[in-house]
Chains A and B, each alone.
Chain A
Amino acid sequence: QKEVEQNSGPLSVPEGAIASLNCTYSDRVSQSFFWYRQYSGKSPELIMSIYSNGDKEDGRFTAQLNKASQYVSLLIRDSQPSDSATYLCAVNYSGAGSYQLTFGKGTKLSVIP
């Protein structure tokens, strides 16, 4: 069974610190990886996508992908209380023609003022 694993947390970091969120996946052929942010009572919001090994930066967010280790992470620099949310890692496992994503259960991040 294809799985996406995340530490459920909660992960608590002080305001201004770097928050590091991790995700592992089980299928080596996966090509597409995503991070979503979900505030309590709201729907998920796409914040990062990454398709190749290495780092991808967007503002305060950096996604890191290591396909050999089947590992993807999200770093949030200068964490703010507004970053407090559940972060979902998602992986596209399927082959051509199927766009389904497999989601992890999410890591709850709490940024302490």
Chain B
Amino acid sequence: GAVVSQHPSWVICKSGTSVKIECRSLDFQATTMFWYRQFPKQSLMLMATSNEGSKATYEQGVEKDKFLINHASLTLSTLTVTSAHPEDSSFYICSANSLQSSYEQYFGPGTRLTVT
């Protein structure tokens, strides 16, 4: 149980284009979903927290107009990187809490974004 999927697993896009990443909880309903970014050999960095049906809460320094988060249901959240630039190239990982085990976060497999 507690499986989280992400799609796509990797994506290459050109500078200036937008990329959408989907995060789904497959076998549970998620109270909250989280989006992280991780650069090579660095620690996880929380970007934003989202709850179904409400606006995401962004961490300090994360541009909400650049990283659009939509949390349409208890099993789906999307992150759209708008007008991507090479410095946005990173490993983007989502996680979700289950309603039963609220503080345990289950991570998706991650999406590796490369902006050329």
Q: Complex Cα distance A104/B43, Å?
A: 8
**Is B102's CB within 8 Å of the partner chain A?**
yes
Sort A-B residue pairs by CB-CB distance and give the 9 closest, nearest first.
A32-B103, A43-B110, A105-B43, A43-B107, A92-B103, A99-B97, A43-B93, A44-B107, A99-B32
Q: Complex Cα distance A100/B93, Å?
A: 15
Nearest residue (CB) in A for B97 is A99
- B13 CB, nearest partner CB in chain A, Å: 20
**Is B106's CB within 8 Å of the partner chain A?**
yes
- CB of A101 within 8 A of CB of B108, answer no
- CB of A106 within 8 A of CB of B43, answer yes
**Is B72's CB within 8 Å of the partner chain A?**
no
Interface residues contributed by chain B, number (CB under 8 Å): 20
- A54 CB, nearest partner CB in chain B, Å: 18
Interface residue ranges of B11-63 to A (CB < 8 Å) = 31-32, 34, 43-44, 46, 49
Whether A43 touches B102, Cβ cut-off 8 Å, given contacts A99-B97, A100-B34, A100-B46, is no
